[in-house]
Amino acid sequence: MARRPEHMAPPEIFYNEDEAQKYSNNTRIIEIQCEMAERAIELLALPEDEPCFILDIGCGSGLSGESLEEAGHSWIGIDISKAMLDIAVEREVEGSLILGDMGQGMPFKPGTFDGAISISALQWLCNADKTTHHPQKRLYTFFCTLFSCLTRTARAVFQFYPENPEQIELVTTQAMKAGFYGGLVVDYPNSTKAKKYFLVLMTGGVAQLPQALGDDAEERRIAFTKKREMIKAARGKPLKKSRDWILQKKERRRRQGLETRKDTKYTGRKRSGRF
């Protein structure tokens, strides 16, 4: 049985330059990451046709951030791996990026974000990578500061890989102590490969936990995707990764005063893959 990444090294060491490149260039990983990000955004239950400001925790190379961009939202990403953030910069993601350890808390002002997502990161806090690390305290610090920087109608959705029921109990207990309410949504609970855990946390108001995906999952996922495409088309946005889309993205970066590569006749062209 393959060892879990969090048992091999701390995240800032495990995701070195080589591992970050492999992670960010693997088409299967990219596909899975985007699917989980889209599901997390769906579980946020954000207002329709209203751009929101979202925090991406453990943003890595910006794959989930791109899903937020497609949905029409702006975002800030925080990650402990500099190698991952370097790739995000190379990919010219639109979100702002911060190097930081989620276990030390979220360094943002109260009420900054309309929601938060996190893909495949939360389980790292359940391990003590240093003698000074106490998972219970680090989780509580994280959830307390996250609760503070969200609005009082916001949700935070975490896709994560719990190792055992004890980890689920540890995480949910600290989240509730910090002021959140909510619970676990398990998609495809009867499937070994497709089973996914989402911790859905709410800051206020009265709302039931979202329905987990099961036998009708494919139908619901397609409906959500179609809806997102219709919204995007209605806004007049060019198709993602097209030449027009890339040129618009570059122009936005120039207006923001960010370093941007010059436009050439090769901009937006697909590479053949041949050397």
pLDDT per residue as tens digits for the range 172-186:
999 999 999 999 999
Instruction: List the domains of the chain with CATH numbers.
Output: 5-252 (3.40.50.150)
Mean pLDDT of 192-211: 87
Judged against a pLDDT cut of 60, whether residue 247 lies above it is answered with: yes
Residue with tokens 């946020």: 44
For 232-238, the CB contacts below 8 A with 24+ separation are 232/70, 232/72, 235/72
Instruction: Evaluate whether 55 touches 25 at the Cβ level (below 8 Å).
Output: no
Instruction: Evaluate whether 161 touches 197 at the Cβ level (below 8 Å).
Output: yes
Q: How far apart are CA 83 and CA 159, in angstroms?
A: 22
pLDDT per residue as tens digits for the range 118-128:
999 999 898 86
Judged against a pLDDT cut of 60, whether residue 273 lies above it is answered with: no
Q: What 3-state class would DSSP assign to 134?
A: coil
Pairing of strands 113-119, 181-187: unpaired
Number of CB atoms found within 10 A of residue 28's CB: 7
Report the range of poorest mean pLDDT among 94-103, 135-144, 165-174, 216-225.
216-225
E strand or H helix that includes residue 57: strand 53-57
Q: How far apart are CA 23 and CA 193, in angstroms?
A: 19
**Beta partners for residue 199, in sequence order:** 158, 184
pLDDT given for residue 26 in this prediction = 81
Number of CB atoms found within 10 A of residue 50's CB: 9
Q: Please choose, from the candidates 194, 230, 193, the residue with its C-alpha nearest in 3D space to the C-alpha of residue 212.
A: 194
> What is the DSSP code string of 47-112?
PTT---EEEEET-TTSHHHHHHHHTT-EEEEEES-HHHHHHHHHTT-SSEEEE--GGG-----TT-
Instruction: Evaluate whether 150 touches 113 at the Cβ level (below 8 Å).
Output: yes
Q: How far apart are CA 108 and CA 106, in angstroms?
A: 6
Q: Report the chain's C-alpha Rg in angstroms.
A: 19
Q: Please choose, from the candidates 57, 175, 75, the residue with its C-alpha nearest in 3D space to the C-alpha of residue 124.
A: 57
**Ramachandran quadrant class, 219 (left: phi over 0; alpha: psi -120 to 50; beta: rest):** alpha
Q: For residue 227, what pLDDT band results from cuts at 50, 70 and 90? A: very low
Number of CB atoms found within 10 A of residue 54's CB: 26
Q: How far apart are CA 63 and CA 19, in angstroms?
A: 15
Q: Please choose, from the candidates 6, 3, 2, 42, the residue with its C-alpha nearest in 3D space to the C-alpha of residue 167.
A: 6
Q: For residue 10, what pLDDT band results from cuts at 50, 70 and 90? A: low
pLDDT given for residue 248 in this prediction = 83
